[in-house]
Amino acid sequence: MKLIFERSVRGRGCSVLPECEVPVWDFQEYGREKELRLPEVSENDISRHYTELAKRTHGVNDGFYPLGSCTMKYNPKINERTAALNGFTGVHPLQPEHTVQGCLEVLKTAEQVFCEITGMDRMTFQPAAGAHGEFTGLLLIKAYHDSRNDEKRTKIIVPDSAHGTNPASAVMAGYAVVNIPSDPDGCVNLQKLREAVGEDTAGLMLTNPNTVGLFDKNILEITRIVHDAGGLVYYDGANLNAIMGVTRPGDMGFDVIHLNLHKTFSTPHGGGGPGSGPVGCKDFLSRFLPSVQVEGDGPYTFTRQPDSIGMVKAFYGNFLVVVKALTYALMLGKDGLLEASQNAVLNANYLMEKLADKYKMPYHRTCMHEFVMSLEQEHEQIGVSAMDIAKALLDYGIHPPTMYFPLIVAEALMVEPTETESKENLDEIIRAFEEIYEQARTNPEVVKAAPHVTPVGRLDEVQAARKPHLKYSYDE
Amino acid sequence: MKLIFERSVRGRGCSVLPECEVPVWDFQEYGREKELRLPEVSENDISRHYTELAKRTHGVNDGFYPLGSCTMKYNPKINERTAALNGFTGVHPLQPEHTVQGCLEVLKTAEQVFCEITGMDRMTFQPAAGAHGEFTGLLLIKAYHDSRNDEKRTKIIVPDSAHGTNPASAVMAGYAVVNIPSDPDGCVNLQKLREAVGEDTAGLMLTNPNTVGLFDKNILEITRIVHDAGGLVYYDGANLNAIMGVTRPGDMGFDVIHLNLHKTFSTPHGGGGPGSGPVGCKDFLSRFLPSVQVEGDGPYTFTRQPDSIGMVKAFYGNFLVVVKALTYALMLGKDGLLEASQNAVLNANYLMEKLADKYKMPYHRTCMHEFVMSLEQEHEQIGVSAMDIAKALLDYGIHPPTMYFPLIVAEALMVEPTETESKENLDEIIRAFEEIYEQARTNPEVVKAAPHVTPVGRLDEVQAARKPHLKYSYDE
Amino acid sequence: MGRYVTNTKEEQLEMLHAIGYDSFDELYRDVPEQMQIHGDLKIPAGMSELEVLQKLEGMAAKNTVFPHVFRGAGAYHHYIPAIVNSVTEKEDFVTAYTPYQAEISQGNLQSIFEYQTMICELTGMDASNASVYDGATAAAEGVLMCLDRKRTGILVSAAVNPQVLETIQTYCYGRNIEVQIIPEKDGATDTRALKEMLDAQTACVYIQQPNYYGILEEVEEIGSLVHEGNAKYVVGCNPISLAVLKTPGEYHADVAVGEGQPLGMPMGFGGPYLGFMAAKQDMLRKLPGRIVGQTVDTQGKRGFVLTLQAREQHIRREKASSNICSNEALCAMKASVYMAAMGPEGMRRAAVNSASMAHYLAEKLQEAGCAAKYSRPFFHEFVTGCPVDTGVLLTRLEEEGILGGLPLSGRELLWCATELNTKGEIDRLAGIVKEVCSR
Amino acid sequence: MGRYVTNTKEEQLEMLHAIGYDSFDELYRDVPEQMQIHGDLKIPAGMSELEVLQKLEGMAAKNTVFPHVFRGAGAYHHYIPAIVNSVTEKEDFVTAYTPYQAEISQGNLQSIFEYQTMICELTGMDASNASVYDGATAAAEGVLMCLDRKRTGILVSAAVNPQVLETIQTYCYGRNIEVQIIPEKDGATDTRALKEMLDAQTACVYIQQPNYYGILEEVEEIGSLVHEGNAKYVVGCNPISLAVLKTPGEYHADVAVGEGQPLGMPMGFGGPYLGFMAAKQDMLRKLPGRIVGQTVDTQGKRGFVLTLQAREQHIRREKASSNICSNEALCAMKASVYMAAMGPEGMRRAAVNSASMAHYLAEKLQEAGCAAKYSRPFFHEFVTGCPVDTGVLLTRLEEEGILGGLPLSGRELLWCATELNTKGEIDRLAGIVKEVCSR
């Protein structure tokens, strides 16, 4: 299809703004030299262009989306409605406090609800995404050690099964990363952990359930080991969807956490954002929280923490995303959140069990909200890779699972059905997976050439990276 | 795909309303006996179901939609926004007048604008669609003759090229229909008209431009003939899009008109409605207008006309549709409306000329906003019908023109590109038409079997009518 | 000026020249000079989107949107689930025309088929059309369906919504028929009078359930009388009430019609709304408007088409069952999504909560000094007296953001409650009423 | 309770049994007993959609939405064309994840490619990423891009937005770097001081154009100084202003960043907004975040993919250029649709009207008693003094529905105007200011 620039015709346009009604200010020597080349298109052009783009975009509304660790659950429409209320969208972030009491109430209520769910004492909503939350949380740890003049703590321990953001965030916070190998089941090897911790340990970053979908039973022991060594423990909230109302990071011994509101709390992911990655912490860390906290019980006030690490972005975070997440949490409540987690775990186990006949499950035991399968054997025997299976799913209108993650499993597909899929959808999906498996066995070339019915076939990523073509060339 | 009933699972549902907070009233013997069987589905089920339905629905946003006489122009998004303002949607129609001054201002402003465009003196917005407007307009004519005790006027003259609604509306208004044959060019045969009029003539219904897309030059003579015979002349506004700012029905001698706001004034058609069919009339008919008229210049009041025909529906018409149409008319203004008409006529002529090489144009002269082609020759020679060409267009993502209308042209396709299509779109469409024509000549069977890439093929309409299956059978 | 024409001025000239014209004027050479507009239309020049939005926002701001609504009388303040507009705002649904080309309109057609099914379930009838303009025109069309050569008498209860009655009368004026009014007694249709009015010319009887005063009519008794007279029984019903009340099908109505606005449409100063119509099997081919039927394609695959078109104006012209062409398709889709989102349990709650709130309201109003006028069972509307001038009371309520009951003739008010009203709101209302009435 | 789980309780049991479990508890047997929650979480039970909407509406109603906004300082009140939300509300766009599977994400990927192109056009730079969180984090990431082993000094003008400065400082705290502040003089960066501060350790200089006080910096002179010192030149810019002002590319910035909120996002109490980032070719591989590139599929057909992923955390982990994963994709799409709807002419009007209104405002405020503090050229913001306590003036304006300028330290206010302000509004404002100031 055309690029919007290829639809542009000089002189075409929409009629958005009037001419200026006061004398026009002259930019003189500050004026730009080169003409601004933006699309010149009618509103009809725009409507059709984006209609075509939408048809080439797979959303949760288009079908199953079991992208492991991304929690692609259904995004309720009431969230969009509350976040679109003019009383929220029309508010300038620098209005006087007494004119934004509703916004402060949203933040305060959300803090209370999410702290209770996670077992934390305070929470900041400033971080705009999970990785941003990790960075923020690690700065809290850093500020804590600094405040104690404990300057030798320069390392963050990260299991090799962790999300890539964990080590990257640690580096951004100025830490050296110590990777420790996981046990075969993706759980922390206590022995390795004991060997790794020491006087230089600033902290440990961990998800639980872990990235292969298992709950690490040793979690209390793990957090104790780190604490005993003088380090703090950070909880990566990417997998919280498995355990709401069942157990809490705070009760597992974690000191700092982040949540992905765009995963666990149903705010839509928008093709890559905006997300929201609030950071919760235990009381002893709260004085380092970034920016401002809401205090009081109506009227509410913004108060800066005494030893704040400073702002991690402008204003108070992705506020309208927080509105959506709060809407969701209030809809479900204590009973609904528990059921959501239970059903997420049920769906994952159901799918895993039904697929286990054909697909190799490296950790074939009760999983949490997601599980990992390995195509290692098929890859060796018939040359069909995890990627091939993923691409074959596209032809069924199914978004593939996360591929090649976690890194500790060869030819991994990480499957997270979420709680909002129904049994009959899962049964249909199982049939699709089975058919693909059969085809991979009987006619592997077809699978290796998949997808066959998508708008484009497999794309040349090597060329894209070698000769970066990152914008429309007007001269083309 | 599944019906929504086939997705239903007992006990499933959405969480819309709370339990009752006051004592529950008991319906006792008034209670329904049979259980209410509605779909029991989750919100995710609904979202995916309608996503699938939307993919199987062709709108203006999906591509070219040259459905003759339907004026499928682009529907501006600002219309949707103004009509969704809470100050309009949240108003009860029976609120006291002083609390609905904004709504009255909308109606009054719309009346002024549309009267000026059409050359009428007053207008009612009560009719909900074009046909409803025809009915209303004919009742005005009836009331007029009744008021003069002119009881012998029992007939409405309708050319055989007219829209089917014209004769049907005449019957609903209690008239006998006199069909008069058109000239070969779809224009009124003056001689036949002179023969048809008489003491029993209540009126004549006419579109101009007519349904083959030509402007009837004799229009002043036509309206004079009817007036001289004591009848009134009704203007079917379906084709107004050709002449805004160029000429006005009121200046052609018409006494009553209706507009299709969902055609000429860009309000979306919603897959079949809601439309809006306001009726305008000359002063001498205004005392018969239905329901209430807005009077005054702020504060506004609703005033019932002295000899009103009565309400033709509840309240004041499809008010929110009127808001959209007014938004559009104000956006375009006197200059923009004229250009819209001019460009609609230009696009039609351009398309006609470019297609005339291959397709037979029964009226090959300057057309207005639409034109008719005839596949009669091809049908006879190679068995390819207007319907076949239409169905072949579906495979190009193009909505076919209106088929088999007007009735006076054999194997007719009536093409109305509207003003919002661009030259390059038209050029692409011309290529599609040409390709289909070539294929019809070289490989007619392929065209006769079209469409080939739509979700379903041609459907058995005979079976549908013979064995009506009009709702889901729960027992299936 | 605002502009949605895509072609630029240059493209327009290029196109004109390509087909042998020099100017737009030449395209209009068929329009006689003497009727061409010279100069501009006397309306404002075009504006930008921002200006128009501000203008319309200015108009909208001149209306009062009452936060507390206790008025119905044909337009009802119900909750609209968020999913409803989310679905029906999809551009394909909004911008499509009537589904004449079935192969690329299966979405639209299937949704109408589903709507028809839901309306049949709600009413207990055999067949539904794809909608008509609103409840009043549905009533009028429902009545006209029953006319035949021998039977041209139309009886309408005095206890129906007056706008519906007037619309029926207007439609009947078209057919040169005078509507006969069945008197009411104690707020309901006078069955004794009805019995006397029925005769061999009676084509049909139209009543409303619950009626204009909110009262539950003796629909079975009336039905028996009508059918004894071999006339058709046409009933106008509130769709929310049908979640719990006996259906027209159960009390043997021949045609059931109603205003579908409560099923997901905003009050919107009266429209667009939705007229629903359903009939018994033997009346099927007399239904006006679009009807969608299930069929198969060339491969035997299930599909949907507009069917029974031999009833319609575009085929039959002056012999059509009605002139209707455009209906309220997108509103019908709203109703479908509404009913799917509500499900049987949600619909039941809407009905039960509305009726229960109304009964609580009636009780509180009684205590406050506005006693109910009738003692019959009612659904979610009822009439009370008012010890003071109704204008005084309503103005006082208005100051508090409350839209009180609709003033009827004399010192009477027609109240309504729905699931959107709360106990707290009603208690507050009652307090104000008491204060005003005891002055 | 509210419920989005699709399975019914019966289905849940059926599924449990099908895979050999008796209860949900068994699924959680790996969770040690001592850390399981016994009883309920201490949060309210679930609610219906209606109740939650009412609750959130109640909160929203506690905010003041000012009809007249004269405050900017990082969040701007611009007009958002209707087409913007109409497009970006499409469910596919809203609910998709990051486009990891290119074959079914071409729509999303192409739209990012188009966004990148528009940002490059706006800034005059060579390459743009797919967005970061907001303008402040864009500035911080932009500064961090310039660090290398030898050069770790970061200079930031005192005349930048203080929140941006603080965010840069926080990010630098992570890297154990202390930010050096270039002092301001007469409301702009002190170039003489800058010259003295630049040294062989200086990695980059960050300034803002127009700066926090709305003033147009001497960007070319500063650029020359920075490049003479072989440091990188990072500029934070207002995207609307770039429609008319000299671009960072034209004055040889190495990295251009900014807050994209004015391009179609509501003020929304501060977020979600959009951080845009663009760089010269030689800095391309240091850009953080997603980047989309054009390529071909197996048939040679044009297609788009996430590219240069070797920079990113999911590939490089601790060696990544940044930890960013989720960005602000839907906001970037809003910006794209905004710029497509505005086109060059619309963007020009937004810029010209805003600046012209601001200059008119400055003039009127001067007449009313609030004289401009600086005499330098400015865009659409400026600082004035205030002869009375700013709180007194702002409170009075608030009563009239006006959000006045942001109070700075002392008796100073930072004002802003955009194309949404009107002459009439400004005249009214000036009248009130005059009245207050002359008391």
Quote the percentage of chain D above a pLDDT of 70: 100
Question: Do D225 and D354 fall into the same domain?
Answer: no
Contacts of A81 in chain D (CB under 8 A): 53
Q: Are the beta carbons of D15 and A334 separated by less than 8 Å?
A: no
Q: Does B44 touch chain A (CB under 8 A)?
A: yes
pLDDT at residue B100, rounded to an integer: 98
Q: What is the CATH number of the domain that holds D427?
A: 3.90.1150.10
Residue A72 within any structural domain of the chain:
no
Question: Do C100 and C43 fall into the same domain?
Answer: no
Please check the confidence at residue C217 and state whether its pLDDT lies above 70. yes
Residue A476 within any structural domain of the chain:
no
D1 band by pLDDT with thresholds 50, 70 and 90: confident
- Does residue C142 contact residue C160 with C-beta atoms inside 8 Å? no
Question: Do A220 and A359 fall into the same domain?
Answer: no
Neighbours of D272 (CB within 10 A): 29
pLDDT at residue B476, rounded to an integer: 52
Q: Does C419 touch chain D (CB under 8 A)?
A: yes
Question: Do C21 and C129 fall into the same domain?
Answer: no
Q: Which residue has the tokens 């788009």?
A: D304
The residue from C337, C366, C391 where one domain ends is: C337
Rounded to the nearest integer, the mean pLDDT of chain D is 96
Rounded to the nearest integer, the mean pLDDT of chain B is 96
Question: Do B349 and B443 fall into the same domain?
Answer: yes
Q: Which residues have a Cβ under 8 Å from the Cβ of B44 and sit 6 or more positions away?
A: A60, A74, A420, A421, A422, D4, D6
Question: Do D88 and D42 fall into the same domain?
Answer: no
Q: Are the beta carbons of C301 and B458 separated by less than 8 Å?
A: no
Residue C60 within any structural domain of the chain:
no
Contacts of D91 in chain C (CB under 8 A): 86, 90
Shortest CA gap C80–chain D (Å)? 9
* Domain interval for residue B249: 78-331
The residue from D337, D353, D386 where one domain ends is: D337
Task: Give CA–CA dist C254/C284, Å, rounded.
Answer: 10
Question: Do A310 and A402 fall into the same domain?
Answer: no
Question: Do C187 and C261 fall into the same domain?
Answer: yes
Question: Do D188 and D245 fall into the same domain?
Answer: yes
The burial of C228, by beta-carbon neighbours within 10 Å (0-12 exposed, 13-18 middle, 19 or more buried), is given as: exposed
Query: What is the rounded end-to-end Cα distance, in angstroms, of chain D?
Result: 58
Q: Are the beta carbons of B18 and D50 separated by less than 8 Å?
A: yes
Quote the percentage of chain B above a pLDDT of 90: 94
Beta strands in D175-296 (DSSP E): 180-182, 184-185, 188-189, 202-209, 232-237, 255-259, 275-279, 292-296
Residue D87 within any structural domain of the chain:
yes
Task: Give CA–CA dist D26/B148, Å, rounded.
Answer: 88
Phi and psi for C407 in degrees, rounded to 5?
-70, 125
Q: Hey, is B6 helix, strand or coil? A: helix
Residue C3 within any structural domain of the chain:
no
Please name the residue of chain A whose CA is at the shortest distance from the CA of residue B74.
A44
Q: Are the beta carbons of D86 and C91 separated by less than 8 Å?
A: yes
Residue D4 within any structural domain of the chain:
no
Q: Does C47 touch chain A (CB under 8 A)?
A: yes
Q: Does B161 touch chain C (CB under 8 A)?
A: no
Residue D1 within any structural domain of the chain:
no
Please check the confidence at residue D2 and state whether its pLDDT lies above 90. no
pLDDT at residue C318, rounded to an integer: 81
Question: Do D184 and D244 fall into the same domain?
Answer: yes
Both tokens of A243, joined, read: 């355990």
Q: What is the CATH number of the domain that holds B379?
A: 3.90.1150.10
Question: Do A317 and A380 fall into the same domain?
Answer: no
Question: Do B384 and B405 fall into the same domain?
Answer: yes
Shortest CA gap A209–chain D (Å)? 10
Q: Are the beta carbons of A43 and C4 separated by less than 8 Å?
A: yes
Shortest CA gap D224–chain A (Å)? 16
Q: Does D85 touch chain C (CB under 8 A)?
A: no
Q: Are the beta carbons of D271 and A269 separated by less than 8 Å?
A: no
Q: Are the beta carbons of C8 and A80 separated by less than 8 Å?
A: no
Q: Does A57 touch chain B (CB under 8 A)?
A: no
Q: Are the beta carbons of A390 and D101 separated by less than 8 Å?
A: yes
Please check the confidence at residue C203 and state whether its pLDDT lies above 90. yes
Q: Hey, is D110 helix, strand or coil? A: helix
D221 band by pLDDT with thresholds 50, 70 and 90: very high
Q: Are the beta carbons of D6 and B15 separated by less than 8 Å?
A: no
Question: Do C42 and C189 fall into the same domain?
Answer: no
Tens-digit pLDDT string for chain A (476 aa): 999 999 999 999 999 999 999 999 988 889 999 999 999 999 999 999 999 999 999 999 999 999 999 999 999 999 999 999 999 999 999 999 999 999 999 999 999 999 999 999 999 999 999 999 999 999 999 999 999 999 999 999 999 888 889 999 999 999 999 999 988 888 999 999 999 999 999 999 999 999 999 999 999 999 999 999 999 999 999 999 999 999 999 999 999 999 999 999 999 999 999 999 999 999 999 999 998 999 999 899 999 999 999 999 999 999 999 999 999 999 999 999 999 999 999 999 999 999 999 999 999 999 999 999 999 999 999 999 999 999 999 999 999 999 998 888 999 999 999 999 999 999 999 999 999 999 999 999 999 999 999 999 999 999 999 999 999 998 75
Rounded to the nearest integer, the mean pLDDT of chain C is 96
- Does residue B233 contact residue B92 with C-beta atoms inside 8 Å? no
Dihedral angle, C-alpha B344, B345, B351, B353, nearest 10 ° = -170
Phi and psi for A94 in degrees, rounded to 5?
-110, 25
Neighbours of D293 (CB within 10 A): 26
- Helices (H) and strands (E) in chain D — how many of each? 14, 16
Residue C404 within any structural domain of the chain:
yes
Strands C402-403 and C68-69: parallel
Contacts of B396 in chain C (CB under 8 A): none
Question: Do B298 and B370 fall into the same domain?
Answer: no
Question: Do C192 and C332 fall into the same domain?
Answer: yes
Q: Hey, is C300 helix, strand or coil? A: coil
Question: Do A115 and A230 fall into the same domain?
Answer: yes
The model's pLDDT over D346-361, given as tens digits with 9 standing for 90+, comes to: 999 999 999 999 999 9
pLDDT at residue B381, rounded to an integer: 95
Question: Do A29 and A82 fall into the same domain?
Answer: no
Q: Does C81 touch chain D (CB under 8 A)?
A: yes
Q: What is the CATH number of the domain that holds A301?
A: 3.40.640.10
Residue D2 within any structural domain of the chain:
no
Q: Give the DSSP per-residue string, B99-154.
A: GBHHHHHHHHHHHHHHHHHHT-SEEE----SHHHHHHHHHHHHHHHHHHTT-TT--
* Domain interval for residue C400: 68-78+343-437
Question: Do B361 and B279 fall into the same domain?
Answer: no
Q: Does A210 touch chain D (CB under 8 A)?
A: no
Count: domains in chain A: 3
Task: Choose among B343, B254, B362, B334: nearest CA to B71.
Answer: B343
Q: Which of residues 275-334 of A touch D (CB under 8 A)?
A: 275-277, 290, 309-321, 323, 326-327, 329-334
- Identity of the residue in B53, B130, B458 whose CB atom sits nearest the CB atom of C298: B458
pLDDT at residue B184, rounded to an integer: 82
Q: Does D12 touch chain B (CB under 8 A)?
A: no
Count: domains in chain C: 3
- Helices (H) and strands (E) in chain C — how many of each? 14, 16
pLDDT at residue B313, rounded to an integer: 97
D294 band by pLDDT with thresholds 50, 70 and 90: very high
Q: For residue C236, is it left (φ>0), alpha (ψ between -120 and 50) or beta?
A: beta
Task: Give CA–CA dist D127/D147, Å, rounded.
Answer: 19
Task: Give CA–CA dist A311/D163, Å, rounded.
Answer: 7
Quote the percentage of chain C above a pLDDT of 70: 100
Q: Which of residues 14-43 of A touch D (CB under 8 A)?
A: 14, 16-25, 27-28, 30-41, 43
Residue B468 within any structural domain of the chain:
no
Shortest CA gap D89–chain C (Å)? 9
Shortest CA gap D199–chain A (Å)? 24
> Which of C1, C5, C8, C15 should be substituted to probe chain A, the one whose Cβ sees the most A Cβ atoms within 10 Å?
C8
Q: Hey, is B281 helix, strand or coil? A: strand
Q: Are the beta carbons of C6 and A12 separated by less than 8 Å?
A: yes
Q: What is the CA radius of gyration of chain D?
A: 25
Please name the residue of chain D whose CA is at the shortest distance from the CA of residue C78.
D50
- Does residue D323 contact residue D313 with C-beta atoms inside 8 Å? yes
The model's pLDDT over C230-283, given as tens digits with 9 standing for 90+, comes to: 999 999 999 999 999 999 999 999 999 999 999 999 999 999 999 999 999 999
Question: Do C323 and C403 fall into the same domain?
Answer: no
Counted across chains C and D, CB pairs separated by less than 8 A come out at: 19
Question: Do D164 and D245 fall into the same domain?
Answer: yes
- Name subunits touching C (3+ CB pairs < 8 A): A, B, D
- Does residue D31 contact residue D75 with C-beta atoms inside 8 Å? no
Question: Do B277 and B295 fall into the same domain?
Answer: yes
The model's pLDDT over C145-159, given as tens digits with 9 standing for 90+, comes to: 999 999 999 999 999
Residue B152 within any structural domain of the chain:
yes
Shortest CA gap A241–chain B (Å)? 18
Question: Do A148 and A294 fall into the same domain?
Answer: yes
- Does residue B232 contact residue B226 with C-beta atoms inside 8 Å? yes
Task: Give CA–CA dist A423/C23, Å, rounded.
Answer: 65
- Name subunits touching D (3+ CB pairs < 8 A): A, B, C
Contacts of C18 in chain B (CB under 8 A): 350, 353
Residue D3 within any structural domain of the chain:
no
Residue B283 within any structural domain of the chain:
yes
Question: Do D331 and D433 fall into the same domain?
Answer: no
Q: Which residues have a Cβ under 8 Å from the Cβ of B351 and sit 6 or more positions away?
A: B66, B371, B415, B417, B426, B429, B430
The model's pLDDT over B331-387, given as tens digits with 9 standing for 90+, comes to: 999 999 999 999 999 999 999 999 999 999 999 999 999 999 999 999 999 999 999
Q: Which residues have a Cβ under 8 Å from the Cβ of D58 and sit 6 or more positions away?
A: A102
